[in-house]
Structure 1
Amino acid sequence: MANDRLLGEFLRARREVTTPAQVALLDVGLRKTPGLRREEVAMLAGVSTDYYVRLEQGRERHPSDQVLGALADVFGLGTDATAHLYALAHTDMPAHQEPRLPAAAKAQVSPRLIRLMHSWPRTPAIVMNRCMDVLAVNPSAAAFYGRGLRAELGVGDNLLRRMFLDPAAREFCRDWESAVRDKVAHLRATIGRDLDDPRLTELIGELSGRSGDFRRVWARHDVEVGNPRTRRLRHDDVGELTVTYETFSVVGAPGQQLITIQATPGSPSAHALAVLCRAG
């Protein structure tokens, strides 16, 4: 994917999901497409309509930081999405990406980290790579997901594939739409401009071909490292529970991230989580 098209695609996607109400504009008349009109974005950002159109079409590739800041304000971008916007615009700067290590090296999880994960009897924990491939799972996580997803989550699985292609995931995750949007936004934030990663290309191709929902969410160009995230789940063994997912970068292992699942101490969800973890 050519980097000179990414800025325009990002701007267009964010324009289409930004409503007039979000920018305090009076919504007058029928709109042929969702979101803001190009002339509205240009007006709010303080640039000409022609200039903004050139940005979306990829004909203007060097917007100033002032223009980028104005566009970030118009679209209400958070810290991660704003950093992503600047990275797309400054293609002369090196992309923030993990070194292109051999696949086997990138999949190697530190034995010390695995021992630490196995010492957490009541905290499900997973290690994943940038593409959300599962690299390690502790017994608590295996027990937690075993009946929740009705199939054990193990090394080699992919969290995005499970969320979009496994029908059980929609029943397990009560706020499924919010969860998949967060995961895709996290993927974009982690990958940055490095969309030519062979594993990522393979994954996006598969999900795009098999899931209309993935195509819809991917087209939004949401960018955010979601941390922490509270999720409402329904588990076959314990019923409803609310847990918090937190993600930590693994120092010394580029691209690897540790995910932990916890519940508020003393809550019914904490008791339910402990029951599930004991099953492991």
Structure 2
Amino acid sequence: MQKRIGIIVTGIVIAVTVIMLILNQTTGWSVFSEPAQPFPGEDDHSLDGDTILKPGEATDFLPTPLPPMTPPKEAIALTPGQIWNPRYHALPEEPTRIATETAVRSEDPWLNYVQVDIVPTWDSKQMALWSELIVLGEVVDVQSYWSTSDGKRPANPHVTGSGYYIYSLTTVKVEQLLEGDVSIGDSIRLIQNGGQVGEDKLIVDDGYPLFTPGQLVLVYLNPIIHPEIQKLVPGVVYNVVERYIVDRTAQTATNPFSQKSLAVLFEEVQQAQQIKQEIREGRFTPPPPPTPAPS
């Protein structure tokens, strides 16, 4: 009997170990993972005065070294929203069409739905380190186009493997520059997968809705240098690494994963700038690992 019990217990331990290994490989979860905090607890950093940024109001943090800058091979695709983003898992190569009929006509509305898993591994501090341009500005225009050479509907978008999709260009007028090389009053263009052209629609479900004209936004951006994108949108266009909707009255910034004071985010950007400068000059020393708690 004891031998049977020992065999059963050993089997359970092996099964649990296998499950934990699978979870670690597929989601990054482990028994040492901290629980996810959709709204991280931040101390209240109220703002006063006429200016948004109040240096010194944000709590200090131990900076994290820049992560490796090489994107995973499977996360590179030709479509704008599928350019590598540190929050994304590997994205599907092609949207999956939702068809209600076995045969569709070329003139029938085209509907594609893509679900993108977001990995809330990097917080706003790391996003500030990743981004080349960070601005506060107003969304002044959002336009959606087909990825054809003229931006218009293809002859038959329902053809499997045609490679055509819908993307959106958002124009933001810069009100305040935190990081990068643009000027106050400049208009910058952001590109995202998804949007609607006529009755045709591409929905990208990544937790972040498309921008809306009139929104005040804080956006963390990187320029896209990609031949396929340059064919669609000549000139400088940016990929959105992180974004917040800003409440001007409350001086808070919110996205689907967190809500923070603007002062906290601005202070993080300042510290990220200092870290980048130290890295360029070869002076950056990663912080020591935390001291283990006494047993």
Q: Same fold (TM over 0.5)?
A: no
TM-score interval for Structure 1 and Structure 2 normalised by the shorter chain: under 0.3
Structure (1 or 2) with the larger CA radius of gyration: 2
TM-score (norm 2): 0.24
Task: Give 1 or 2: higher helix fraction.
Answer: 1
Per the normalisation by structure 1, the TM-score is 0.25
